[in-house]
Chains A and B, each alone.
Chain A
Amino acid sequence: MTTMTTMRELHTRLKHLFPLGELSEQRPDLAFVTVPAEFLRPSLLHLRDREGYTHLVLLTAVDWLEEGRFQLTYLLSKRTLGQDIGLRVMIPRDGATMASAHDIWPTAATYQRELREMFGIDFPGSPRVDEDFILEGWIDIPPYRRDFDTLKYAQENYSQRPGRETRDPATHMQQQLYPDGRQG
C-alpha cells in the first residue's frame, strides 16, 4: 500500500516540525490530523510549498455543541499522488476567531466569508469578510450553529398554509411496519 506508507511518512515528517495529533486514516488516499490553532498557518504553508499539497479542496466547520468547540477542517489535495490530507483545528465555540488563510489561497476568502456568516467564526483581515454573503438582513444567530432551530424559525417567521400534515418518520413507519404495536 504505497500511498498509505507515504501518508504515514508525511505524518512522521510533519511531527518533527509541528505538534500534530494522531493520524486517523479514513481511506488509503485520505487521512485527517489535528493541528493546534497557532500552528495551522505554518503547517499549511509547509504542506503547500514543501510537500506539494497545492490545492485547497475545502474549508468548513463542524459545530460540536456538546464539547463547546468548533472544528475547522482544511482539506488539502496533492494531485500527482492522488492524496488528500485534512487538517482539523479545534477552536473554542464562544468568541470563535481564527487566523485568515486568504493570502495562502485566494479562494479561502470565500470560504471564510461563508463561515463568518453561517457559523459566526471571525477571520480578521480576510477581505470583505463582514459583508453579506448568502443571507441578507439576517437577524437571528448564525443558522448553521447546532443551537439554531430552523423549524422553529420557519414557523415563527413564515406564514404556513393550513392543511399540511407532517409526521415523525420513526413513529409513522413504526405504525406502518408493526401495526400490532410491538417494537421493531
Chain B
Amino acid sequence: MNFFAPDRSQYPATKTDGTLDIDLNSGKYLKLWQGPNHPGITGNMSVELTVCGDEVVEGRTHVGYLHRGFEKLMERRTFIQCFPIVCRICVPEPDFNEYCYAAAVEELAGIQSPERANWIRALILEMGRINSYLMYLGGQAGALGQGVIGQWTTYVRDLMLDRFEELTGARIYHMFILPGGVRDGLPEGFEQRMEVTLREIENTLKDVYDVMFCNAVFKKRTVGLGYIDPALLDSYGVTGPNARAAGVAKDVRRDQPYLVYPDLDFAPVIGQDSDIYTRADVRRRDLLMSVDLIRQILARMPRNGPVMAETPSVLHWQIPRGETYIRGECSRGEYGYYLVTDGSGYPRRVNVRGPSYTHAMALLERMIVNVNISDVAALMVSLHTYPPEIER
C-alpha cells in the first residue's frame, strides 16, 4: 500500500567484508555536504552525505571546526584560572561546565561547598536547562520549516536570560559557579520576577503545544522517523532525553543524585515510541518539569548563610594526586568531567565528556542511513547535538 516509501532496509548492498558497496564513479551516487555553512546544521559541524536519488545511503559526521584545545589550555592554567574558560566550552548551557569543574576540584581538594550555594547551583542549572530546551524546540520546528515557533521560544528565552543577567550579571557566559561555592546570593525580589517569567514560559509552551505538537503536518513528518532501538542505548552510549524517549529512565538527577536533587520531588519524564516526535515531546515535558523544579527550589532554599567556602590562596593552591569523575544531567544527556591532579598547582588532565560526543558521531552515522534528504536536518536536531562538546 505504501507506494511512496517502499522498504529499503536491505539497501545499500554491503560487500562481503561488511563495508557498503558504493561506487562513486558509477554516477548513481551524489556526494552532498550538509554544513558547515548550512542553515539546517546544528552548530558548526558538517555531515558528508552520499545520496542515491532522494535517499541517504551513507553519512559521515565531520567535527573539529570549533576545536580550541581546552583540555590543553587548562593544563597550563592554575585551578582558579581554569574557572573562567570552562564555561566557553558549551554555549547554550555553559553552567554545567562550571558546576562539573567546580565539583571535581572541590572533591579532590576536600572542600565542602555550603548548603545555600548548592541550592543556588541547582537553580542556575535548571534555568540553563530551560534555555537549552527552548532553543531546541525552536530549532526542531525550524528544521521542518515552522519558523514561528523559534520566534516565540526565543522571545521567552530572552526573558530567562534577563533573570540570568540580574542574578549573575551576564547573558550567556555567567561565570558564577566557581570552586568553593557561588559568587553571590539572590538579588532582592528575584523570586517574584522569576515567577512572572515562569508563567510567561508556561503560556508560550501552551501555544507551542497547540501549533507544533497538535499540527497534522508536524506529526506526519516526525512520527515514526528516527527510531532508536532501546537495546542499542548502552552500546551507543545514549543518555538523557534521547534515552528517556526510548522508555529507559536514564536521569542522573535520580540515578546518582547530586547537589540538592535528593530533596526535590520529581520523576524522570519517559516516552515510549523513541521517534522524533516523542523526543520533542519528552523535552517539552522535561521543560515543564524544570519550571516546577525552579518553583520548588525557590520555595525551599535557605534565605541566608554563606555562599562561599574557605578556599586556599589562589597563589599556593595545590591539590594532591588523585583522579575523579563528576557527572550531571544536562539538557542533552550526561555531562561529565574527568579531572586528574598530580600534586602541583595545575590540573594534570581534564577530560570533558559531553553527551553529543556519542550522539552526533556513532549514533547519527548509524541512524542517517536510508533517510530522505529532507529529514536529515530534523533527525540531527532531534538528537540535540552540540559540536563543541565533541571537540572542545
Q: Which of B73-81, B113-121, B128-136, B164-172 contacts A (4 or more CB under 8 A)?
A: B73-81
Q: Which of B273-281, B285-293, B321-329 contacts A (4 or more CB under 8 A)?
A: B321-329
Contact of B313 among A61, A62, A79, A184 (CB under 8 A): A184
Interface of A is mostly: mixed
Residues 76-98 (chain A) with a chain B CB within 8 angstroms: 79, 82, 84, 86
Q: Which of A5-13, A25-33, A36-44, A155-163 contacts B (4 or more CB under 8 A)?
A: A25-33
Task: Check B384 for interface membership: any CB of A closer than 8 A.
Answer: no
Most buried by B among A54, A57, A84: A57
Q: Chain A interface residue count: which class? A: 35 or more
Shortest C-beta distance, A46 to chain B (Å), equals 16
Q: What residues of A have a CB within 8 angstroms of the CB of B322 in the complex?
A: 26
Measured in the bound complex, the distance between the Cα atoms of B391 and A134 in whole Å is 7
Task: Check A55 for interface membership: any CB of B closer than 8 A.
Answer: yes
Measured in the bound complex, the distance between the Cα atoms of B351 and A173 in whole Å is 28
Contact of A55 among B73, B75, B234 (CB under 8 A): B234
Task: Check B102 for interface membership: any CB of A closer than 8 A.
Answer: no
B338 near A60 (CB under 8 angstroms)? yes
Q: Which of B137-145, B211-219, B353-361, B370-378 contacts A (4 or more CB under 8 A)?
A: B353-361
Q: What residues of B have a CB within 8 angstroms of the CB of A32 in the complex?
A: 323
Contact of B325 among A84, A134, A184 (CB under 8 A): A84
If A29-B256, A56-B237 touch, whether A62 touches B340 (CB-CB below 8 Å) is yes
Residue of B nearest to A104 (CB): B235
Task: Check A126 for interface membership: any CB of B closer than 8 A.
Answer: no
Most buried by A among B256, B340, B357: B256
Residue of A nearest to B60 (CB): A128
B236 near A106 (CB under 8 angstroms)? yes
Task: Check A179 for interface membership: any CB of B closer than 8 A.
Answer: no
Most buried by A among B313, B323, B324, B366: B323
B361 near A62 (CB under 8 angstroms)? no
B69 near A150 (CB under 8 angstroms)? yes
Measured in the bound complex, the distance between the Cα atoms of B73 and A143 in whole Å is 11
If A55-B237, A58-B338, A106-B362 touch, whether A133 touches B63 (CB-CB below 8 Å) is yes
Q: What string of 1s and 0s marks CB contacts (under 8 Å) between B324-368 and chain A?
A: 110100000010101010000000110101000110011100100
Shortest C-beta distance, B38 to chain A (Å), equals 18
Q: What residues of B have a CB within 8 angstroms of the CB of A136 in the complex?
A: 64
Q: What residues of B have a CB within 8 angstroms of the CB of A1 in the complex?
A: none
Contact of B107 among A27, A58, A143 (CB under 8 A): A27
Task: Check A17 for interface membership: any CB of B closer than 8 A.
Answer: no
Contact of B362 among A29, A62, A110, A169 (CB under 8 A): A110
Q: Chain B interface residue count: which class? A: 35 or more
Interface of B is mostly: mixed
Task: Check B67 for interface membership: any CB of A closer than 8 A.
Answer: yes
B73 near A150 (CB under 8 angstroms)? yes
Measured in the bound complex, the distance between the Cα atoms of B357 and A88 in whole Å is 21
Most buried by A among B75, B250, B334, B349: B349
B71 near A107 (CB under 8 angstroms)? no
B357 near A110 (CB under 8 angstroms)? yes
Contact of B72 among A27, A86, A144 (CB under 8 A): A144
Q: What residues of B have a CB within 8 angstroms of the CB of A106 in the complex?
A: 235-236, 362, 366
Most buried by B among A26, A106, A174: A106
Shortest C-beta distance, A70 to chain B (Å), equals 11
Q: What residues of A have a CB within 8 angstroms of the CB of B72 in the complex?
A: 143-144, 148, 150
B351 near A58 (CB under 8 angstroms)? yes
Q: What residues of B have a CB within 8 angstroms of the CB of A135 in the complex?
A: 64, 67
B250 near A79 (CB under 8 angstroms)? yes
Q: What residues of B have a CB within 8 angstroms of the CB of A56 in the complex?
A: 237
If A75-B338, A151-B76 touch, whether A170 touches B64 (CB-CB below 8 Å) is no
Q: List 21 A-B contacts (CB under 8 A).
A: A26-B107, A54-B234, A55-B237, A57-B237, A57-B325, A57-B336, A62-B348, A63-B349, A73-B323, A73-B338, A86-B323, A105-B235, A105-B237, A107-B236, A107-B358, A107-B361, A110-B362, A134-B63, A150-B73, A169-B314, A184-B313
Binding site for B on A (CB under 8 A): 26-27, 29-30, 32, 54-58, 60-63, 73, 75, 79, 82, 84, 86, 105-107, 109-110, 132-136, 143-144, 146, 148, 150-151, 169-170, 173-174, 177, 184
The 3 closest A-B pairs by CB, nearest first: A134-B64, A54-B234, A60-B351
